[in-house]
């Protein structure tokens, strides 16, 4: 099982870039099927590039550090 602590530790690596654009990311859940649920907040909540930020930024970095991750999805 992937720990929430480890995921949050890695999210801290990408958080400054996201916050510099007026947004943020919060961990919602680490599912048993190794899918990570996050919530994009602030400017990221309505940004048309949010899906790119999620997949090319957040998911890529998380998978680099925690290869067991299957996918990162955004939830409301």
Question: Helix %, strand %, coil % for the chain, to 5?
Answer: 45, 25, 25
pLDDT of 76 strictly over 90: no
- pLDDT tens digit string along 9-62? 999 999 999 999 999 999 999 999 999 999 999 998 888 889 999 999 999 999
The CA distance from 48 to 44, in Å, is 8
5 pLDDT tier (thresholds 50, 70, 90)? very high
* Structural domains in the chain, sorted by start: 4-74 (3.30.300.130)
pLDDT of residue 24: 96
pLDDT at 32: 97
Report which of 53, 48, 51 is spatially closest to residue 19, judged by C-alpha positions: 53
DSSP element (H, E) containing 24: strand 23-30
């Amino acid at each position: 099982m992937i720990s929430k602590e480890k995921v949050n530790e890695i999210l801290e690596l990408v958080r400054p870039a996201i916050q510099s654009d007026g947004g943020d990311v919060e961990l919602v859940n680490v599912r048993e099927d190794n899918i990570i649920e996050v919530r994009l907040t602030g400017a990221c909540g309505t940004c048309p590039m949010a899906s790119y930020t999620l997949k090319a930024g957040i998911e890529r970095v998380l998978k680099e550090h925690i290869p067991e991750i299957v996918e990162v999805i955004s939830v409301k």
